[in-house]
């Protein structure tokens, strides 16, 4: 992991990151790693994973983040959004078999209402910076 993505996501953001990582791994395994014995994420999938982590870190909703599909703030670049949709359309149905708890948690999260953004909500990035400044 490079310097730009070597940080921790707090709470629900980390759970969401683990879920999208599992989806990326399923997609990469079946599209980019067809004839290999040992799984290793390809460069494109690893870059997309780092991009997702960066976007989750900067989300203004922080840990109260709605699912990206429901969110009024579209923070992904157009090409990355298409990439995300492609990966989720492929991996989503397979997640119920490979990672059932993650899949159910993700489906429940999709049904939650969108919180109203307020000053009490801080991004993971700001929270990390404030914790570093307080030490």
State yes or no: pLDDT of 65 exceeds 90. Answer: no
Asked if pLDDT for residue 2 goes beyond 60, the answer is: no
pLDDT (average), residues 91-99: 93
* Tokens linked to 113: 């209402």
For residue 35, the model assigns a pLDDT of 63
Give the mean model confidence (pLDDT) for residues 129-135: 80
* CA angle (134 as vertex; 18, 62 as ends), nearest 5: 35
Question: Residue 109 in contact with residue 88, Cβ under 8 Å?
Answer: no
Which pLDDT score, from 0 to 100, does residue 1 have? 41
Res 84: pLDDT: 93
DSSP 3-state of 73: coil
CA distance 64 to 79: 25
Mean residue pLDDT across the chain: 87
pLDDT score for 16: 92
**Mean pLDDT calculated for residue range 76-89:** 93
> Helix or strand or coil: residue 7?
coil
pLDDT tens per residue across span 19-60: 999 999 999 988 877 666 677 888 899 999 999 999 999 998
**Nearest alpha-carbon partner for 20 in 79, 128, 106:** 106
């Amino acid at each position: 992991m490079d310097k730009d993505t070597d940080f921790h996501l707090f709470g629900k953001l980390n759970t969401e990151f683990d879920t999208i990582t599992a989806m990326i791994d399923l997609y990469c395994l079946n599209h980019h790693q067809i004839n290999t014995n040992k799984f290793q994420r390809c460069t494109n999938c690893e870059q997309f994973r780092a991009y997702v982590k960066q976007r989750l870190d900067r989300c203004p909703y922080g840990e109260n983040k709605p699912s990206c599909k429901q969110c009024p703030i579209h923070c992904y670049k157009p090409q990355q959004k298409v990439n995300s949709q492609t990966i989720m359309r492929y991996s989503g149905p397979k997640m119920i078999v490979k990672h059932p708890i993650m899949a159910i948690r993700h489906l429940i999260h999709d049904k939650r209402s969108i919180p109203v953004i307020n000053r009490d909500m801080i991004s993971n990035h700001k929270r990390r910076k404030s914790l570093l400044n307080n030490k």
